[in-house]
Chains A and B, each alone.
Chain A
Amino acid sequence: MNRTRPLTSGLLAAAIAGVAFGTVIGAAPAEAAPSDAEIVDMLKVIDSRQQNNGDYRSTAYLEQKERGKDDTAFEITFFRRDFDDKLMILFLKPKAEAGKGYLRLDKNLFFYDPTVGKWERRTERERIGGTGSNRQDFDESRLALEYTPKFVAEEKLGKFDVNHLTLSAKDGVDVAFPSVDLYLDKITGNILKRQDKALSGKLLRTTYYPKWSKLFSESKKADVYFPAEIRIFDEVEKGNSTLIVMKETDLRPLDPNLFTKAWLESKSR
């Protein structure tokens, strides 16, 4: 298994990132607003860093806090094959949830429940396991494809200098949130904060990415970036939050027949 390397926003990381992505992040003077093309490039960098030409597998811990309810926690493994947009999420724990899973085939997201042995089609915006997370939190990043960005300002986010962008969904693209505010670390280019908004403009959820990791991919011949921790806060139902912690990530090739209903069903037999 590949070992993940956590990224920090310290000076060393800044220097590395500055070299690696200097053309995008660091080229423009701090005072000058980046051009539209440069902003699109920022998104392309985020997307391309997280994409892997081969396969992707990660085990994650999900914790959901919901007001008026007991906390729930899950352990899941999710699998991706980015070149043909395959995604599978398999629930491992708790025992009552083990064997349940999601499988995306083409543009359809299916949910399997082994207790009833049935597949059901779900929307792309399905709350995974009833948590505040959805498919996009586990899927490859497609920001540049799905959104048109606009530069807002250079701002401070805590101790970090960030580029604040607003994204509007492109026509005909199937996204849960038509409007997004992104806060990108000026040094590393990583997303530090994301605010998803409704069509009405109301802020629905804020997501923080406090920790990013990367792994060298043999198939991509480059590093693949992924958030090691995601914290999602529901801004409408205050008090609801979701924590996603990536425990193990593996970029080695997966079983060719993995992205099938039969494979997922076999996991609960």
Chain B
Amino acid sequence: MVTLQIALNNLLASRRRTLFLGAALFGVTLLFVLLLALTAGVTDNLIRGATNISSGHVNIGGYYKSTPSDSQTVVLNASQLKAEAKEALPDALRIIDRLRGWGKVISDKGTVQSGLNGIDLADESALLELLALAPAKDYIDNPANAEEVKGSLDALQKPGTIMLFASQAKRLKVDVGDQVTLRTETLKGQSNTAEAVVGAVVRDLGLLSSFASFVPKQTIIELYQFKPDVSGAVQIYLKDIDRSEAAMNELRAHLEKKGYAQLEHDGQPFFIKLLQTVPNEEWTGAKLDVTTWEDESSFLVQIIIGLRAISVFLVMLLAIVIVIGISNTMTIAVRERTREIGTLRAIGMNRGGILALFLLEALLLGLLASGAGGITGGVVAALLDAGGLKVDVDAIRVVLLSNTLHLVPRVFDIVLAVAALTFVSMIAAFFPALRAARITPVTAMQAAE
């Protein structure tokens, strides 16, 4: 208690030094918390986007190959597969199926390659909650009314409609009500087209928006000449998303037991397998492919890994600066306080006590400054998130997987940042403290004279 009192007094006595070091620790912790909140926000965007736009928590996808080189993302007997999923995964909240296509969306002025998701709006309440109609300025150059919102999310109830993301509509130079042509190949490899009217243009959701558009199921059925009960994938939503991998393994085992032919697990999105992996395999016929949402968005997980790496690198760099700063300041402090150290040693404080005193000073400084930085960082992150700042740079949107800045300050992350920076400040103080502890009372007195 006395040591704590002395440490606190020392910090207050060296107010300038304390403020300087404290400000550095405060700033680095704040930055660390903001970076962690940003990474958590991107992860959140990824999960929300991936599990609504392109995947369930667990998916039963599949491929049908009429020849070794001609493959299509198809599952036969979709209703039977839904029943199998229900049986294998009793904790499934929702089981839906979507038709998957891949082709060109062509307007008079542009072309985009896109995943064509055939959906039934009645099953897609979660998707509709995620999507928002885009204002004209998001996809039209110099619109008369920039904020005008056209179309309706219910547009896909009408046959022959398509819902595009704003970035796709911009590349196609189309507006709600314009007609586009969808072009792809049937299972037999014959070219086919369908006409569709743009029923809605929705706000982008980062990189995911580039790969997906939505049409009524019937459009895909006609484009690919599918028979009844053929679908693209059965998507399963669980109570706990963290159980996705375990659920996938359970489902794989269940389907194997029931005699379904399956592909070996390969943690890549279905469209990469469709374009690269599956056509290079010799088999023909139908095979199922059970995946998790993480598999289907693995190309996006790289963004999160990259963001984490940048965060850690930045914070480590700043931590090194802090270590050098604290270490130097402490070394100077030890020299300045040699007399005080001698006195303390003379009145009976042992070497351990001196070591503890300096470490405690660093601990107090680290805890208070990084604590303040952590809390401020959390508040700033929450305010920025609530502000919904729009991001106008395409490259940044791609990284953030969103059009707006989304930050998720988590208590765990704040505690982690505060603990890490406090630990760093103690490490920085360790060697100067050790030097102080090694000073003998006689040396200290002589130095003082």
Contact = CB atoms under 8 A, between A and B. Distances in A.
Interface of A: 67-68, 107-109, 120-125, 169, 174-178, 196, 198-200, 202, 204, 236-238
Interface in B186-212: 186, 188-195
Given A68-B110, A237-B106, A176 B279 contact: no
Contacts of A178: 190-191
B181 A202 contact: yes
Contacts of B185: 123, 125, 176
Interface stretch (B64-72, B146-154, B315-323): B64-72
B256 interface: no
B71 to A, nearest CB: 9
B188 A174 contact: yes
B49 to A, nearest CB: 28
A200 B193 contact: yes
A176 B191 contact: yes
Contacts of A236: 106, 181, 183, 193
B280 interface: yes
Given A108-B68, A123-B69, A198-B183, 17 more contacts: A67-B109, A108-B67, A123-B279, A124-B69, A124-B189, A125-B185, A125-B191, A174-B189, A198-B193, A199-B186, A199-B190, A199-B191, A200-B193, A200-B222, A202-B181, A204-B193, A236-B193
Contacts of A204: 183, 191, 193
Contact of B191 (A109, A120, A196): A196
Given A202-B181, A204-B193, A107 B67 contact: yes
A222 to B, nearest CB: 33
B108 interface: yes
Q: Classify chain B: how many residues form its interface, as a range.
A: 20 to 34
B312 to A, nearest CB: 32
B225 interface: yes
Q: Which 4 interchain pairs have the tightest Cβ spacing?
A: A199-B192, A198-B193, A202-B193, A178-B190
A177 B186 CA distance: 11
A28 B368 CA distance: 102
Nearest to B186: A199
Contacts of A109: 69
A218 to B, nearest CB: 35
A175 B70 CA distance: 12
Contacts of B279: 120-123
A238 B107 CA distance: 9
Nearest to A202: B193
Contacts of B225: 199
B277 to A, nearest CB: 10
Contacts of A196: 191
Contacts of B190: 169, 175-178, 198-199
A109 B189 CA distance: 14
A122 B69 CA distance: 6
A177 to B, nearest CB: 6
Nearest to A201: B193
A121 B69 contact: yes
16 contacts: A107-B67, A121-B279, A122-B69, A123-B69, A123-B189, A125-B191, A174-B189, A176-B190, A198-B183, A198-B192, A198-B193, A199-B186, A199-B192, A200-B194, A204-B191, A237-B104
A169 B190 CA distance: 10
Contacts of A202: 181, 193, 195
B63 to A, nearest CB: 14
Given A175-B190, A178-B191, A199-B192, A121 B181 contact: no
A38 to B, nearest CB: 27
A108 B282 CA distance: 10
Contact of B280 (A120, A175, A200): A120
A199 to B, nearest CB: 4
A238 B110 CA distance: 9
Interface string B280-296: 10000000000000000
Contacts of A68: 110
A177 B68 contact: no
B189 A125 contact: yes
Given A125-B191, A175-B190, A196-B191, A237 B69 contact: no
Most A-side CB within 10 Å, residue of B104, B222, B280: B280
A178 B192 CA distance: 9
Interface in B393-441: none
Nearest to A107: B67
B157 interface: no
A68 B191 CA distance: 24
A123 B191 contact: no
Contacts of A121: 68-69, 279-280
Interface string B91-111: 000000000000010101111
Most B-side CB within 10 Å, residue of A169, A174, A175, A238: A174
A109 B279 CA distance: 11
Interface in B34-74: 67-70
Nearest to B190: A178
B189 A176 contact: yes
B228 to A, nearest CB: 18
A199 B182 CA distance: 12
Given A107-B67, A108-B69, A123-B69, A177 B191 contact: yes
A122 B189 CA distance: 12
Nearest to A66: B111
A223 B183 CA distance: 39
A196 B183 CA distance: 14
Contact of B70 (A123, A169, A177, A237): A123
A194 B183 CA distance: 20
Contacts of B191: 125, 176-178, 196, 198-199, 204
Contacts of A200: 192-194, 222
A124 B190 CA distance: 10
Contacts of B195: 202
A230 B291 CA distance: 46
